[in-house]
């Protein structure tokens, strides 16, 4: 059998030491009680004694509950009062003793935690330490510091499950960027996304490739604010669909630039391609921004953009940009100059522009983005604590995804402006971006950069991926690295097979001493010895084979730890909330207790 690793201050020795200390301390306390009794109620003089005498009195005391004075020596007894005054006098030093013990415990815990913090958190953090770092109260204190007391009362911290080692409930701060990685069907939706959306009280953007998140959360979210569903492919047949015109807002040049960059990024010449690709993307982006700007100034729609993208020599956008008083200066000349380059170059540029608009080839997407159908205002959505579900099938990377990415960018841009106007310079309403199946449905070109920026605006971002390789496909190696490095919290469910990724998490968890048995056999028989060996706290095999509904939580101030994230169906309050859609329950949403 493997022996338990114990310090000299654990086990039977510690019990013996505690018992001895208790007897000596009680001896002193009883002695003090006797002095108090004599001075206040008895002979009014000191009783001679010492630690040894006090210990004897303490051990005899329990034989004389009716008259405690009998525990003292016959010489001292005449100086002591009756039973009531005796017990009252003995109680006072007992209370002092209890107070001292509590104080000593607190001091030891404080010293231990301070020592642990100097080394990046104790290897075996106590429940109190975990709660001080990631507990509900710690997160609420942080929210109060940023937004004031009222905000902390109306916000619900984002739950990250229960810490298996200590039983503490873990929460993310409102400005955290969370990266969640788990293979299909491992419980990312049931254990993390859906409960977070159900408990959230402010505006939320939720992306999904299946209808389950919408089906489980929409009725509850409808009690918080308006629910919008952008679902050109009809994944949720009965929901009322949101229509959004991507040209709207582009009369502002900055918005046109931002949106054009987003569309150009989907032209198939993203960061994964060489420098030449990036050049075509840049040139295409400058043409697309002029088209978007011109169309917005004239109140035209996507169909007009498509028409111009088919005719590089079209004069209409140039005319609008040169005549309209609100047009950005010089964009007309830029657009005209782009059309006058040598034909071979021009064909390549416009081919990229057309590819960027490929998403509108899908008639359902075109229908959802027509100018006369626009029903969505990001400002209203934020002010009214709305929920927007952005849906598209996993294969919709080239049809729905560019619009979804542009729509999210629009919401983020509006949030940025609202944050700039607010007193705290942050979005007061606490937007959550729950980007489930992010690589498939919401591959925002500059997500790695955005992830770093959004926390500062008061936006909580969760990027949910099935594997880190899926991020590499979209954002390239540097982008994927940035997405991982910038995460305040990383959640990893079992089943991951990227050994380098698992190794990294295992290393972050550090090492500890483990006793390893060495068995030797000779003519005298078998003998064994135990030697300490440095072993990883979380071996990669353990991370890859986590129990169902468990994930490793990597956070900045605690060593990586395992959390239990059960399905929201196991939470009675959440199940009732979903089942009945009861308005009254929203104020008292539980955190799974
Ligand atoms: N309505 C339901 N009732 C009972 N179990 C369900 C229900 N929906 C999903 N599950 C189960 O919960 C588990 C986790 O599903 P979940 O949708 O959370 O996976 P996921 O990690 O989000 O997967 P994906 O990457 O495919 O979205 C699965 O085993 C699934 O079968
Ligand atoms: Mg899912």
> Looking at the domain assignment, is residue 70 inside a domain?
yes
> Looking at the domain assignment, is residue 343 inside a domain?
yes
Q: Which residue has the tokens 């890859």?
A: 544
Residue nearest to atom 23 of ligand 1 (CA): 185
- Judge if the beta carbon of residue 182 lies within 6 A of ligand 1: yes
Choose between 446 and 206: higher pLDDT: 206
Q: What is the pLDDT of residues 533-592, one digit of tens each?
A: 888 889 999 999 999 999 999 999 899 999 999 999 999 999 999 987 644 434 444 444
Residue that is last in its domain, among 327, 361, 395: 361
The answer to whether the beta carbons of residues 247 and 300 sit under 8 Å apart is: yes
> Looking at the domain assignment, is residue 411 inside a domain?
no
What's the pLDDT score for residue 155?
86
In this structure, which residues have their CB less than 5 angstroms from ion ligand 2?
188-189
Give, to the nearest 10 degrees, the angle between helix 12-40 and helix 51-61. Answer: 90
Q: What is the pLDDT of residues 76-108, one digit of tens each?
A: 888 888 899 999 988 988 899 899 888 988 887
Q: What is the DSSP letter of 584?
A: G
pTM of the predicted protein model: 0.77
Q: What is the pLDDT of residues 368-427, one digit of tens each?
A: 898 776 678 999 999 999 999 999 888 777 788 888 988 999 999 999 999 999 888 888
What's the pLDDT score for residue 483?
95
Q: What is the pLDDT of residues 477-495, one digit of tens each?
A: 999 999 999 999 999 999 9
Residue nearest to atom 1 of ligand 1 (CA): 212
Q: What is the pLDDT of residues 226-243, one digit of tens each?
A: 999 999 888 888 777 888
What's the pLDDT score for residue 110?
65
What's the pLDDT score for residue 195?
97
The answer to whether the beta carbons of residues 224 and 387 sit under 8 Å apart is: yes
Dist. CA 23 → ligand 1 center (Å): 58
Q: How far apart are CA 156 and CA 200, in angstroms?
A: 6
The answer to whether the beta carbons of residues 455 and 177 sit under 8 Å apart is: yes
Q: Which domain holds residue 86?
A: 18-118
Q: How many CA atoms lie within 13 A of 418 on its CB side?
A: 21
What's the pLDDT score for residue 269?
45
Residue that is last in its domain, among 118, 147, 182: 118
> Looking at the domain assignment, is residue 341 inside a domain?
yes
What's the pLDDT score for residue 531?
83
| Residue 136: C-alpha distances to residues 141, 362, 431 (Å) | 9, 46, 19
> Looking at the domain assignment, is residue 441 inside a domain?
no
Residue nearest to atom 30 of ligand 1 (CA): 185
Q: What is the pLDDT of residues 439-467, one digit of tens each?
A: 988 888 889 888 888 999 999 999 999 99
First and final C-alpha spacing in the chain: 37
Residue nearest to atom 3 of ligand 1 (CA): 569
Residue 35 has pLDDT above 80, yes or no: yes
Residue 274 has pLDDT above 80, yes or no: no
Cβ within 8 Å of residue 485, ≥6 positions away: none
> Looking at the domain assignment, is residue 29 inside a domain?
yes
Q: Which ligand has its closest atom nearest to the C-alpha of 436?
A: 2
Return the C-alpha torsion angle 311, 313, 314, 319, nearest 10: 160
- Could you give the percent of the chain with pLDDT greater than 90? 48
Residue that is last in its domain, among 75, 90, 118: 118
Q: How far apart are CA 178 and CA 546, in angstroms?
A: 20
Number of domains in the chain: 2
What's the pLDDT score for residue 201?
92
Query: Two tokens at 320?
Result: 């609008």
Q: Which residue has the tokens 């729905």?
A: 400
Residue 1 has pLDDT above 50, yes or no: no
> Looking at the domain assignment, is residue 132 inside a domain?
no
> Looking at the domain assignment, is residue 472 inside a domain?
no
Choose between 532 and 144: higher pLDDT: 144
């Amino acid at each position: 059998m493997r022996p338990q690793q114990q310090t000299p201050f654990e086990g039977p020795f510690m019990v013996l030491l505690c018992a001895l200390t208790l007897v000596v301390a009680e001896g002193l306390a009883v002695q003090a009680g006797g002095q108090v009794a004599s001075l206040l109620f008895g002979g009014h003089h000191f009783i001679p004694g010492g630690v040894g005498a006090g210990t004897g009195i303490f051990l005899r005391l329990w034989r004389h509950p009716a008259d405690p004075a009998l525990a003292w020596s016959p010489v001292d007894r005449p100086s002591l009062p009756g039973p009531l005054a005796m017990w009252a006098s003995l109680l006072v030093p007992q209370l002092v003793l209890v107070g001292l013990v509590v104080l000593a415990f607190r001091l030891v815990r404080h010293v231990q935690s301070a020592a642990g913090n100097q080394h990046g958190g104790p290897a075996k953090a106590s429940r109190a330490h975990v709660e001080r770092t990631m507990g509900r109260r710690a997160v609420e204190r942080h929210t109060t510091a940023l937004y004031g007391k009222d905000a902390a009362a109306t916000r619900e911290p984002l739950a990250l499950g229960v810490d298996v080692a200590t039983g503490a409930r873990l929460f993310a701060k409102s400005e955290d960027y969370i990266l969640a990685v788990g293979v299909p069907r491992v419980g990312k939706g049931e254990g993390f996304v859906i409960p977070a959306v159900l408990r959230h009280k402010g505006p939320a953007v939720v992306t999904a490739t299946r209808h389950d998140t919408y089906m489980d959360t929409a009725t509850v979210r409808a009690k918080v604010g308006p629910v919008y569903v952008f679902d050109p492919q009809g994944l949720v047949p009965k929901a009322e669909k949101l229509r959004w015109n991507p040209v709207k807002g582009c009369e502002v040049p900055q918005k046109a630039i931002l949106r054009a960059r987003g569309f150009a990024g989907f032209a198939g010449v993203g960061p994964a391609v060489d420098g030449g690709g990036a050049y075509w993307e840049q040139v295409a982006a400058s043409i697309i921004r002029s088209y978007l700007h011109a169309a917005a100034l004239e109140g035209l729609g996507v169909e007009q953009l498509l028409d111009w993208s088919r005719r590089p020599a079209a004069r209409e956008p140039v005319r609008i940009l040169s005549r309209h008083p609100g047009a950005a200066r010089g964009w007309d000349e830029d657009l005209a100059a782009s059309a006058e380059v040598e034909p071979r170059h021009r064909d390549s540029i416009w081919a990229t522009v057309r590819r960027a608009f490929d998403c509108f080839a899908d008639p359902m997407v075109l229908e959802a983005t027509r100018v006369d159908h626009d029903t969505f205002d990001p400002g209203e959505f934020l002010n009214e604590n709305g929920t927007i579900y952005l849906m598209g099938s996993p294969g919709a990377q080239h049809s729905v995804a560019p619009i979804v990415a542009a729509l999210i960018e629009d919401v983020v841009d509006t949030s940025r402006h609202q944050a700039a106007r607010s007193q705290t310079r942050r979005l007061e309403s606490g937007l959550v971006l729950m980007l489930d199946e992010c690589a498939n449905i919401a591959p925002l070109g500059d997500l790695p950069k955005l992830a770093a920026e959004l926390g500062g605006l008061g936006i909580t971002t969760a990027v949910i991926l099935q594997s880190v390789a899926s991020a590499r496909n979209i954002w390239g190696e540097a982008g994927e690295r940035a997405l991982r490095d910038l995460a305040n919290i990383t959640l990893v469910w079992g089943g991951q097979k990227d050994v380098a990724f698992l190794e990294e998490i295992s290393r972050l968890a550090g090492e500890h001493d483990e006793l390893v048995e060495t068995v030797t056999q000779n003519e005298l028989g078998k003998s064994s010895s135990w030697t300490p060996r440095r072993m990883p706290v979380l071996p990669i095999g353990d991370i890859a084979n986590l129990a169902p509904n468990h994930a490793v939580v990597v956070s900045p101030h605690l060593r990586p730890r395992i959390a239990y994230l059960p399905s929201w169906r196991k939470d009675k309050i959440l199940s009732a909330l979903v089942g009945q859609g009861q308005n009254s329950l929203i104020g008292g949403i539980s955190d799974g207790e």
